[in-house]
Structure 1
């Protein structure tokens, strides 16, 4: 009988993409993998290889803004767990999140084997416990942290799986992005503290076009005013026009992607596209930078905001990213293009 494993990753789209290798390891053992995600993360979970079903639940100690804790919310989770009826659960978290509230609810729902990483004593809530900072290194990429939790639970990637990020069912988006080579600029962010200024994006787009590159600007339906401003008369504006699979297709067809630390950066990595990463150090780049693809990391990683996890910039002038010029971004993009054997070669720098 196939063993059913519930994998929980309850936060954002990018976080779910980063747990893809761990999900594949669990599926490789012959398990039927169900994922428990937020509504936002569920979009990404449906693209991950190895996922059988996706359950959606807004977790009040993970998502932001958090829903109130009510009996109805807990009953909703209990109903989802009854539908899944898992043989075991693997709870995937980042360093600042606890698996214990969910483990308690899973235990009350009858799940008999639960794995997770917890700084706090877990008692009978976890059958497999990794202790962050002791037997689980914290300064490692998030995909490797998730893989360490899956490995402790008894799952391993097959020898022919390199552990890179991946997504399934990526469509050919040439009819949307247009024929020929292009660079994607994605100016939007989910967290304001991670944003590069709009006028800098505009200037970078213009410089890229002046160098002979075609630029495609992407963004969510809520970001159409932003993408229109950034694209101007120079670039193709696809803001608000793409669902997540189609965005993956557009990113897969790009020669490089210019993006901050937000979900599409990890989606670009999952389709193998090099990334110019405008990375605000409010979280550590060693954990959250695009994984497994060529990356040009820009931004002052020693700025006073480092490690604050701030959603709004706590430093006047946003120096970690305002120190990055449009010329810096364009030069970084050109370096990626020149270094990639499968991409067009552009050797001109920007003064």
Structure 2
């Protein structure tokens, strides 16, 4: 680490999905730890605002869509007026890289994996995500090497760095659904196409073998995902479940996960939210690299995953992953039981 500088503001640019943003929060936590007087600004997409605003390490959220809709001179002026001393291009976007340079941000950090970073960044980090064995959260931290005393920390330290403590109150209509005498379990069967899925029949079967006396089961997802589940006959196959698909904003979803006890999903944003909130978070993964848990496992004090114990890429170019589909509902129940009662 070079001599520590004082930064008035550091911008973290991460304009992709919910899970990616969740796994960037530990980077914000470390920056706050070593630069306590610095404001951390997230540049992201509007649909991740609720995640960032729930994090105690983030001081400001900027909607990239709003900025990018301005005439270019106004974009430059807006970014310049933030008076940031540093921008971290965690999720590289060519337009943002050029904009940051034009706005005169003094230090601009990006990976060597993007050619345009050679002309737009003045601090380059040798980092390849494609073939790296590191977890996504660790890769995000590695990008800030040179800013932190160590660019590698133990994975078990990550759960303490999410900082998701600014959770809004759950609306009464949703809080009334929580059963204080049972384990409140969320099943999130769909992934909006962002991950390989375990399949709605498997989730439905799982719900039938969970003892009603021990578990209250909720099904979450967007309204469109709820419609897909109905088309697939999920609710006819399922046991006793409470359907709350399409009923919550992301703010409310975060609050609901925080109030519930656990969540089961593929590698999705809600899974990473549950892990970050310290809930039982059980992920079901394909063994295909780089989709495998080595890169995308939920990181939390009560997080775990199931994956076929083999190297496999047979389904890389197809939709469903047979190795995932072959994980039985009983295996998932047994893993869940071991996590609920360790």
TM-score when scaled to structure 2?
A: 0.80
Query: Following the alignment from structure 1 to structure 2, what is the Cα–Cα distance between the partners of residues 129 and 163?
Result: 24
- Tell me, yes or no, if structure 1 residue 53 matches structure 2 residue 60: yes
Aligned to 2:295: 287
Distance 1:151 1:292, change over 3 A: farther
Tell me, what secondary structure is at the counterpart of 1:177?
coil
Kept after mapping to 2: 8 A contact 1:25/1:150:
no
Distance 1:280 1:222, change over 3 A: same
Distance 1:2 1:101, change over 3 A: closer
Aligned to 2:204: 202
The correspondence of residues 236-247 of structure 1 with structure 2, limited to 5 A, is 236-247=242-253
- Tell me, yes or no, if structure 1 residue 6 matches structure 2 residue 4: no
Show CA shifts across 1:85-108 (max 9, x none). 322211213xxxx46653222101
The correspondence of residues 163-312 of structure 1 with structure 2, limited to 5 A, is 163-164=158-159, 165-171=162-168, 173=170, 174-180=175-181, 181-191=183-193, 194-209=196-211, 212-226=214-228, 230=234, 234-282=240-288, 283-300=291-308, 302-305=311-314, 308=316
283-292 or 10-19: bigger deviation: 283-292
CA positional deviation for 1:76: 6.6
Unaligned runs of 5+ in 1: 60-69, 309-313, 340-351
Kept after mapping to 2: 8 A contact 1:205/1:235:
yes
Unaligned runs of 5+ in 2: 1-5
Aligned to 1:88: 86
CA positional deviation for 1:171: 4.2
Query: Following the alignment from structure 1 to structure 2, what is the Cα–Cα distance between the partners of residues 46 and 156?
Result: 27
Distance 1:74 1:222, change over 3 A: farther
CA positional deviation for 1:337: 1.2
Number of equivalenced pairs: 316
CA positional deviation for 1:128: 2.2
CA positional deviation for 1:3: 0.4
Query: Following the alignment from structure 2 to structure 1, what is the Cα–Cα distance between the partners of residues 337 and 29?
Result: 34
Aligned to 1:343: none
Find 1:149's aligned residue among 130, 143, 148.
143
Aligned to 1:116: 110
Aligned to 2:30: 25
Query: Following the alignment from structure 1 to structure 2, what is the Cα–Cα distance between the partners of residues 22 and 193?
Result: 23
Q: CA RMSD in A?
A: 3.3
CA positional deviation for 1:37: 0.5
Query: Following the alignment from structure 1 to structure 2, what is the Cα–Cα distance between the partners of residues 248 and 188?
Result: 17
Show CA shifts across 1:137-173 (max 9, x none). 922122222122234234779x9x9432331322464
Query: Following the alignment from structure 2 to structure 1, what is the Cα–Cα distance between the partners of residues 319 and 140?
Result: 35
Show CA shifts across 1:247-301 (max 9, x none). 2232233333111111001100110112221113452321111013334422336
